[in-house]
Amino acid sequence: MPLFYFNIRKNDANVEDIEGEELPDLGTATAYAEESILAMVAEQLKAKSSVDVYGIEITNAEKKVIAVVSTGEVLPKVIPPTILPR
């Protein structure tokens, strides 16, 4: 299975994934990144801290960026647009 890395982009820091995950394909990797973003946002909201996750860059085994999943594209999938700030 291909190896994917998930680099987290935040306000004040970028967290590089050094372990990676073996997943069947890019679609599965994208879903994994979306779930990861939702989990991070949920933890920050539970802690009553500001959300500082911009998104996740998905890279391949050669560390080349092959996809970017942004928090802004993930949240509307689970939060109605009428609730999200404009």
Res. 67 pLDDT band, cuts 50 70 90 = very high
Convert 5-31 to b/e letters by CB count within 10 Å (16 or more is b). bbbbbeeeeeeebeebbebeeeeebbe
10 in Cβ contact with 54 (< 8 Å): yes
Q: Which residues pair with 69 in a beta bridge?
A: 56
Q: Among the listed ranges 58-62, 73-77, 80-84, which one has the minimum average pLDDT value?
A: 80-84
Task: Note the pTM of the prediction, 2 decimals.
Answer: 0.87
69 in Cβ contact with 55 (< 8 Å): yes
Report phi then psi at 84, rounded to 5: -70, 140
| Angle in degrees, CA 17, 6, 55, rounded to 5 | 120
Place of tokens 């539970």: 46
Can you tell me the mean pLDDT for 24-49? Answer: 94
Res. 84 pLDDT band, cuts 50 70 90 = low
